[in-house]
Amino acid sequence: MLTKKMQDALNEQINAEMWSSYLYLSMSMYFEDQGLPGFANWMRIQADEENMHAMKFVDYINERNGRVLLKPIGAVETEWKDTLTVFEETLAHEQKVTALINNLMDIAIEEKDHASRSFLNWFVDEQVEEEATVNEILDQLRMVKDNGNGMFMMDREMRGRSAAPADAAE
């Protein structure tokens, strides 16, 4: 059984994951509007992953006989200066999510909730991967700068990203 403190924190994380999904969907639509379908694809898959993360928290709370309480999802940005800015904001957002996951882990440790610690380990590892991936894209964008050919090539590469199978998230 989850403690109230752990349950409340996990419910907050569901909201944060859903907000992340909404943010990345907005970024995807921005890229669609900019004529960058590959970048739009990358962000759309990112949005789907964040939604899947939220559902993992929902399922976990239910498995622990807790109560999922959904809250309103706040508004997200819809306009950005350029592609580099989008990914700089993406990195900052992923770093914020890392801090949220670390806070959940701290609560699990404080509450001596070993099951939640085990569950959260997957998210700790996932955040390392998320930040590394975005950093790699940022490095490439900084190399390309405003070079149209470079952006074309990056967009084409981003088009090749496909969603991970659902069981890969386990």
Domain boundaries, the chain: 4-164
Sign of CA dihedral 142, 44, 103, 165: negative
Give the phi and the psi of residue 14 in degrees, each rounded to 5.
-55, -45
Each residue of 79-131: pLDDT tens digit?
999 999 999 999 999 999 999 999 999 999 999 999 999 999 999 999 999 99
- Local structure of residue 34 (DSSP, 8 states): T
Q: What is the largest CA-CA distance in the chain?
A: 55
Single-letter code of the amino acid located at 51: N
* Cα distances (angstroms) measured from residue 77 to each of 19, 23, 26, 37, 84: 11, 7, 7, 19, 15
pTM for this model (two decimals): 0.93
Report which of 124, 112, 159 is spatially closest to residue 13, judged by C-alpha positions: 124
CB within 8 A of 32, min separation 6: which ones? 40
* Cα distances (angstroms) measured from residue 24 to each of 12, 60, 107, 145, 148: 19, 24, 27, 22, 24
**Angle CA 44–45–48, to nearest 5:** 90
Q: Which CATH class is domain 4-164?
A: mainly alpha
Per-residue confidence band for 63, with pLDDT thresholds at 50, 70 and 90: very high
Average of per-residue pLDDT across 18-44? 98
